[in-house]
Amino acid sequence: MKNKKIFVVGNWKLNPTSLLKAKELFNGVRKEVAKISEVTTVVIPPYLYIPEFSRFIKPEGIKLGAQDIFYEEVGPFTGEVSATVLSDFSVKYVIVGHSERRALGEIDEQVNRKVKAALKKRMTPIVCVGEKERDSDGAFFAIIEEQIKALTEGLERKDLAKIIIAYEPIWAIGTGKTATTSDVQEMQIFIFSILTKLFDRKTAEKIPLLYGGSVKAGNAKILHEEGGMNGFLVGGASLKAKEFVKIINATLNN
């Protein structure tokens, strides 16, 4: 998968707790990233920080994302934010189907609708898949296959080239337990084969696959070199500018 573009995505979740701290973090990353053109870096803050950061988004350099969207564009949906609203704020990426949203009740069908809503507004959905636990019989592969089938349901081949899939085993998120490089590589091959079966090889080759789950500055290099994915979705370690930039640097071929 080394011929594809590399993405390093920082999912800040519900952090930090003030605009001042958010600005410090954003600027710390933005300045460093300006020197790195080989990797697409996406920062995904809580919604309310987006308008402030969108002023700094240019065609080159750091990109901005959202942690979720609603699948309807407009109407009586209290508390929801749509792709239409976000697209006015330079938001080009959106996480869809994160396990923390799924844990709050989001189901596969909603994930699929959100993917379609993002594509309609020319946003790249970063769609998360992952198993709760690993069993020795490998039943978790069927879970991933189901999630991929559901998220791609009704999409055309041309749409597939515009999505990113992030493999995030739930047992590795925020736990400090990272998947091994062979777990990651095996899953990269598995997801590629599912996409090839559902569509075709050429289409599957266009879809960047990311790994997420306790990625840190200390394990990023080996995970990148041996895992065979196209970058990372980073949670906790994206909250320190220096550590996040180290992860970005770990994906550079040097």
How far apart, in whole angstroms, are the C-alpha atoms of residue 131 and residue 156?
A: 26
Q: Which of 148, 233, 248, 250 binds ligand PGA (CB under 6 A)?
A: 233
**Residue appearing with tokens 């605009």:** 19
Site for ligand PGA in 5-34 (CB under 6 A): 11
Q: Does 97 bind ligand PGA (CB under 6 A)?
A: no
Active site residue 98: yes
Q: Which residue stretch of 48-56, 65-73, 75-83, 233-241 sits at the interface with ligand PGA (rule: CB under 6 A)? A: 233-241
Give the residue at shortest CB distance from ligand PGA.
235
Q: Which of 179, 236, 244, 247 binds ligand PGA (CB under 6 A)?
A: 236
Count CA atoms closer than 13 A to 201's CA, side-chain side.
Answer: 1
- Number of residues lying near ligand PGA (CB under 6 A): 13
Question: Which residue in the list 32, 131, 168, 224 is annotated as catalytic?
Answer: 168
Active site residue 168: yes
* Residue 226: C-alpha distances to residues 1, 94, 231 (Å): 11, 27, 12
Residues 125 and 165: beta-carbon distance below 8 Å: no
Q: Does 130 bind ligand PGA (CB under 6 A)?
A: no
Site for ligand PGA in 149-178 (CB under 6 A): 168, 173-174
Question: Which residue in the list 32, 98, 100, 224 is annotated as catalytic?
Answer: 98
Output 15 or 196, the one with its CB closest to ligand PGA.
Answer: 15
Helices (H) and strands (E) in the chain, counts: 11, 8
Q: Phi then psi for 216, rounded to 5 degrees?
A: -135, 170
Q: Which of 57, 234, 247, 250 binds ligand PGA (CB under 6 A)?
A: 234
183's tokens: 């777990």
Output 213 or 227, the one with its CB closest to ligand PGA.
Answer: 213
* Residue 179: C-alpha distances to residues 1, 20, 147, 226 (Å): 19, 34, 19, 12
Three-class DSSP category at 231: strand
Output 209 or 237, the one with its CB closest to ligand PGA.
Answer: 237
Q: Does 125 bind ligand PGA (CB under 6 A)?
A: no
Residues 62 and 33: beta-carbon distance below 8 Å: yes
CA nearest to 178, candidates 211, 142, 137: 211
CB of 73 to ligand PGA, least distance (A): 26
Q: Which of 40, 235, 245, 250 binds ligand PGA (CB under 6 A)?
A: 235
> Mask of contacts with ligand PGA, 192-231, x by CB under 6 A?
--------------------xxxx----------------
How far apart, in whole angstroms, are the C-alpha atoms of residue 25 and residue 17?
A: 12
Three-class DSSP category at 234: strand
106's tokens: 């989001």
Which residues contribute to the site for ligand PGA (CB under 6 A)? 11, 168, 173-174, 212-215, 233-237
Which of the residues are catalytic? 98, 168
